[in-house]
């Protein structure tokens, strides 16, 4: 049996079910309890589980992220909520130097079963400090796993796996997706980390996108279909460890690759996927790999500028046509995809 529920409810069910089945799991973060969650993800959980297991914190990310790491070291399984992943940067040392490294530094004597979760990326006009993608930072770190679900079903199944995983997992959601509904099974299930989902099979072009970029790609699909382009759409779901084989198998089939990501281009996750494809499927590629990313600027506030920075349906369509060697159509709506105006190239030119 399935039913339609919002993303935030799927997350809440995952946490609540895991807290029911495992006494060691607890939720900690700013506003998770009495306020019912800054984005209402944890609504009702304080009432259900009490103050011992749904722990409100002061605004002290370094402090409570560190508390989570210490608690995980001695066998608890914390879920640490960041109100947004922008605030995780205040706790970066705890995630990168402690959570990711303690297992190796101790020669495997400690496990770190901890989940850091919360929304990432841009919402509407939140300004530069609240509108950025942190997944490239965390994907760069051995010892961490990074998960970014795009729909309620995946969100629930992946969060359950993340909570059960014995490693630190960075679980990045999206403010823009919390209200989106999707089919979620009634019965118990979990989705393994590290496995991509082939959202739409196709033959002409592989499009890799995650989190809310999946929704952008979905919006672009009708136009692609109208142009006779049969795209295969892949949602990696877990960015580290990446399901390399699913992506490579698709590229070997379609011979063309487009990566759509909300983050910046330089050293982004898509740069890694492009490297992967050229190093292991070079002979299968019929065209240069394309990427649609955000423009290389801290996010400006003005609505029109924000729109110009972010990936758009138009940018996705233009990039898809380019990979397929088709002529560009009409106005591309702002900045041209693929022409990343990096500081380096500007100063060099």
Q: Which of 12, 117, 130, 145 is in the footprint of other proteins by CB under 8 A?
A: 145
| Nearest-angstrom CA–CA distance, 271 and 66 | 31
- Cα–Cα dist 43/251, whole Å: 42
* Residue closer to other proteins (CB basis): 10 or 224: 10
* Residue 57 binds other proteins (CB under 8 A): yes
Q: Does 34 bind other proteins (CB under 8 A)?
A: no
Contact 272, 139 (CB under 8 A): yes
10, 41, 69, 274: which one binds other proteins (CB under 8 A): 69
Contact, 209 vs 217, CB < 8 A?
yes
* Contact status: 172 vs other proteins (CB under 8 A): no
Residue 52 interacts with other proteins (CB under 8 A): yes or no = yes
Tell which positions 80-109 bind other proteins, by CB under 8 A.
Answer: 93-94, 97-98, 102-109
Contact status: 167 vs other proteins (CB under 8 A): yes
Q: Which stretch binds other proteins (CB under 8 A): 161-169, 209-217, 260-268, 276-284?
A: 161-169
Residue 238, interface with other proteins (CB under 8 A)?
no
For the question of residue 61 being annotated catalytic, the response is yes
Is residue 227 part of the annotated active site? The answer reads no
- Minimum distance between the CB of residue 20 and other proteins, rounded to whole angstroms? 13
d(CA 333, CA 342): 20
- Catalytic site residue from 61, 232, 295, 306: 61
346 binds other proteins (CB under 8 A): no
- What is the spatial distance between Cα 340 and Cα 315, in angstroms, rounded to a whole number? 12
H helix or E strand, kind and range, residue 65:
helix 61-73
Please check whether residue 259 is in contact with residue 216, taking contact to mean a CB–CB distance below 8 angstroms. Answer: no
Task: State how far the alpha carbon of 45 is from the alpha carbons of 41, 84, 102, 175, 274, in Å.
Answer: 9, 19, 31, 19, 41
- Three-state SS annotation for 66-122: HHHHHHHHCCCEEEEECCCCCHHHHHHHHHHHHHCCHHHHCCCCCCCCCEEEEECCC
> Known catalytic residues?
61, 130
- Interacting residues with other proteins (CB under 8 A): 21-22, 26, 52, 57-58, 60, 62-76, 93-94, 97-98, 102-113, 142-143, 145, 157, 160-161, 164-167, 190-194
């Amino acid at each position: 049996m399935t039913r339609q529920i919002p993303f935030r409810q799927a997350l809440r069910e995952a946490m609540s079910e895991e807290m029911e089945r495992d006494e060691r799991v607890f939720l900690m973060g700013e506003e998770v309890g009495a306020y019912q969650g800054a984005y209402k993800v944890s609504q009702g959980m304080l009432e259900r589980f009490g103050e011992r297991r749904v722990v409100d914190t002061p605004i002290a990310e370094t402090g409570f992220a560190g508390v989570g790491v210490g608690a995980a070291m001695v066998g608890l399984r914390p879920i640490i909520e960041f109100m947004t992943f922008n605030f995780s940067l205040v706790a970066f040392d705890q995630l990168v130097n402690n959570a990711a490294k303690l297992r190796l530094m101790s020669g495997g004597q400690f496990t770190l079963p901890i989940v850091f979760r919360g929304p990432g990326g841009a919402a509407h006009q939140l300004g530069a400090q609240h509108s950025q993608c942190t997944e490239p930072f965390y994907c760069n770190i051995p010892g961490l796993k990074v998960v970014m679900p795009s729909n309620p079903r995946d969100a629930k199944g992946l969060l359950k796996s993340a909570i059960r995983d014995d490693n630190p997992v960075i679980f990045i959601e999206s403010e823009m997706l919390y209200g989106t509904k999707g089919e979620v099974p009634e019965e118990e299930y979990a989705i393994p980390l590290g496995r991509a989902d082939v959202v739409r099979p196709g033959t002409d072009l592989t499009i890799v996108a995650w989190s809310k970029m999946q929704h952008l790609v979905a919006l672009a699909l009708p136009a692609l279909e109208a142009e006779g382009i049969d795209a295969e759409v892949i949602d990696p779901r877990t960015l580290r460890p990446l399901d390399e084989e699913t992506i490579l198998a698709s590229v070997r089939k379609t011979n063309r690759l487009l990566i759509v990501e909300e983050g910046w281009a330089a050293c982004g996750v898509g740069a890694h996927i492009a490297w992967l494809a050229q190093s292991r499927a070079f002979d299968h590629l019929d065209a240069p790999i394309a990427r649609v990313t955000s423009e290389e600027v801290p996010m400006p506030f003005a609505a029109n500028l924000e729109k110009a920075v972010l990936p758009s349906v138009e940018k996705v369509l233009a990039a898809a046509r380019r990979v397929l060697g088709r002529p560009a159509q009409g106005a591309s709506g702002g900045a041209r995809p693929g022409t990343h105006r990096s500081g380096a190239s500007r100063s060099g030119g």
